[in-house]
């Protein structure tokens, strides 16, 4: 889907026959003004050579004319159009074949906000599993050459253990008698060529938090959904979100008949704290911004 962006985009037009300056601030990646001198008019057409843009942007010129004091005044606008899916196409096959619990619309939301956050600094995910959500986030951070940390003990959550509802025998390592998802995550990152973008941390989140000092542009909480674990993730990690950064929480179900309440509980807590502004809800993915 193609959409016009309204985040940091500026299109400066021309009046009469004069220079055209285009300044693009693409979510923190600033391109120096591009100037086209005295664009010629041939057969009532203004001939313009597009300035260079990243592969996921393209430019569509539009012209507006009006008469003023007997003089024709025209402006040429370069409309910046952003093709979000163009950057995800290379990952679609890998995502489709990666184990996980992430709806496509929610994954696209992760990708969208990862790109927005990446110009502020690195991000962090709690709950890598086999890497489906990590792919969406990693792709967004990769575009801005930024780092994504992802934390998981890789022994599976409570409901993924043998005999439980979401047990997957392929994830069970018979040699050690335990769930082991790390090998699947590493394979996912290798296939997606994101090993220089995503930094896996094999540990419990509260253990890592004890020594953490890096401000985060984005925090995605999708670990264990027990009340104790969700509360621990919230308390340990939200203080590290920088002003203007994003807090994303997965599996939010206001109706207890539809799902567990732990993620919804910490979402409500974040809103009530006064430190976060609600941005939007994409299915069960809640997005908030740190004030």
224 is a domain residue: yes
Contact criterion met (CB below 8 Å) for 124 and 146: no
| Shared domain check, 277 and 205 | yes
Comparing 29-33, 39-43, 142-146, which segment has the lowest mean pLDDT?
29-33
**Number of domains making up the chain:** 2
What is the CATH number for 258?
A: 3.40.50.150
Cα–Cα nearest to 235, from 258, 253, 219, 214: 219
Residue in the structure block whose two tokens are 């299109």? 11
| Shared domain check, 203 and 250 | yes
Q: Around Cβ 171, how many Cβ atoms within 10 Å?
A: 20
90 is a domain residue: no
pLDDT band at 11, cuts 50/70/90? very low
Report H helices in the chain: 84-88, 92-96, 104-118, 132-143, 182-191, 205-209, 227-237, 262-273
Distance between CA atoms of 57 and 84, rounded to whole angstroms? 9
- Residue-wise pLDDT for 22-31, tens only, equals 333 333 333 3
Question: Could you list the residue range(s) of the whole structural domain that residue 41 is in?
Answer: 2-84
| Shared domain check, 137 and 256 | yes
- Residue-wise pLDDT for 77-86, tens only, equals 555 544 555 5
pLDDT band at 187, cuts 50/70/90? very high
pLDDT at 69: 67
Distance between CA atoms of 94 and 257, rounded to whole angstroms? 33
Provide the β-strand partners of residue 241: 216
Residues with Cβ < 8 Å from 44, sequence gap 6 or more? Answer: none
| Shared domain check, 11 and 153 | no
pLDDT at 105: 93
| Shared domain check, 47 and 112 | no
- pTM of the full predicted structure? 0.71
Q: Tell which of 84, 109, 144 closes a domain.
A: 84
89 is a domain residue: no
Q: Is 225 considered catalytic here?
A: yes
Average model confidence (pLDDT) across the chain = 80
Q: Tell which of 28, 61, 84 closes a domain.
A: 84
- Residue-wise pLDDT for 150-160, tens only, equals 999 999 877 77
Q: Tell which of 43, 62, 84 closes a domain.
A: 84
91 is a domain residue: no
Convert 154-219 into a string of H (helix), E (strand) and C (coil).
Answer: CCCCHHHCCCCCCCCHHHEECCCCEECCHHHHHHHHHHCCCCCCEEEEECCHHHHHCCCCCCEEEE
pLDDT at 196: 96
- Phi first, then psi, for residue 75 (nearest 5°) are -130, 135
pLDDT exceeds 70 at position 227: yes
| Shared domain check, 284 and 166 | yes
| Shared domain check, 161 and 237 | yes
Cα–Cα nearest to 35, from 50, 15, 16, 46: 50
Q: Which pair of tokens denotes residue 91?
A: 């990952």
Active-site pick, 119, 153, 225, 250: 225
């Amino acid at each position: 889907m193609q959409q016009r962006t309204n985040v940091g985009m500026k299109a400066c037009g021309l009046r009469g026959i004069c220079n055209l300056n285009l300044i693009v601030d693409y979510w923190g990646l600033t391109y120096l003004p591009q100037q086209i001198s005295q664009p010629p008019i041939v057969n009532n057409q203004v001939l313009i050579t597009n300035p260079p843009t990243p592969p996921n942007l393209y430019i569509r010129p539009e012209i507006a004319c009006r008469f003023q004091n007997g003089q024709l005044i025209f402006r040429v606008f370069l409309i910046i159009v952003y093709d979000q899916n163009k950057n995800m196409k290379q990952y679609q096959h890998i995502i489709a074949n990666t184990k996980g619990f992430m709806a496509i619309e929610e994954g696209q939301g992760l990708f969208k906000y990862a790109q927005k956050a990446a110009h502020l600094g690195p991000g962090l995910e709690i709950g890598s599993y086999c890497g489906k959500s990590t792919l969406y986030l990693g792709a967004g951070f990769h575009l801005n050459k930024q780092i994504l940390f992802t934390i998981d003990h890789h022994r599976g959550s409570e409901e993924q253990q043998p005999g439980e509802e979401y047990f997957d025998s392929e994830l069970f390592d018979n040699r050690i008698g335990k769930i082991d998802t790390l090998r699947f995550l590493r394979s996912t990152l290798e296939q997606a060529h994101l090993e220089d973008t995503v930094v896996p941390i094999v540990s419990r989140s509260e253990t890592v938090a004890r020594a953490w000092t890096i401000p985060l542009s984005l925090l995605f909480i999708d670990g264990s959904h027990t009340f104790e674990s969700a509360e621990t993730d919230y308390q340990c990690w939200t203080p590290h979100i920088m002003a203007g950064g994003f807090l994303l929480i997965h599996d939010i179900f206001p109706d207890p008949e539809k799902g567990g309440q732990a993620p919804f509980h910490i979402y409500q807590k974040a809103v009530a704290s006064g430190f976060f502004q609600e941005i939007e809800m994409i299915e069960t993915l809640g997005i908030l911004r740190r004030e």
